[in-house]
Amino acid sequence: MKKIIFLLLMAMVMTMSLTMSADDDDRVITYDQLPQPAQAFLKANFATKVPLLVTADWDDFTIRYESGEKIEFDRNGEWKDIECYNSKVPANAVPAQIASYISQNYPGKSIIKLERHRSVYEVKLNNGMEIEFNRSFQVIDMDYDD
């Protein structure tokens, strides 16, 4: 019983600290206030994860999970940034061309961060390699994060 109370108190402290550290423009919202495409994406890819904090600002939504994942969505509910430093980006969230390139060129490595911008995708692997793809899924830049 003491362990359960301790865990609940720790969760409350973490939630409060994350809420206080949110940007000034961010406001805490409920999961149900996320756009439907964002909710569908999260249900398909993060259904087993426990949400810790959901925030919104004027142009995007962010959800953080207890296990450390962070996903950002645009105002339409389309993902734009997936960070999974303690795990890996779910395979269903990775475009097939990127997944194929990574499996062929970096077998056994996992994608821990995936960003989507207007003209590029940015990928970070668990070995520190950062790869940038254009919208045609051609590699346009590579870097190694020491």
Q: Which two tokens stand for residue 27?
A: 């406001």
- Give the C-alpha separation, 51 to 46, whole Å: 9
Q: Which two tokens stand for residue 93?
A: 């969230």
Number of domains in the chain: 1
Whether the CB-CB separation of 123 and 110 falls below 8 Å is answered with no
Count of C-beta atoms within a 10 Å radius of residue 53: 21
Provide the residue range defining the domain that includes 118.
Answer: 2-144
Domain harbouring 29, CATH code: 3.40.1420.30
Q: Going residue by residue through the chain (146 aa), what tens digit of pLDDT does each one get?
A: 655 555 555 555 455 555 444 456 789 999 999 999 999 999 999 999 999 999 999 999 999 999 999 999 999 999 999 999 999 999 999 999 999 999 999 999 999 999 999 999 999 999 999 999 999 999 999 999 76
- Give the C-alpha separation, 53 to 105, whole Å: 36
Q: Which residue do the tokens 């645009």 mark?
A: 74
Question: For the whole model, what pTM was predicted?
Answer: 0.81
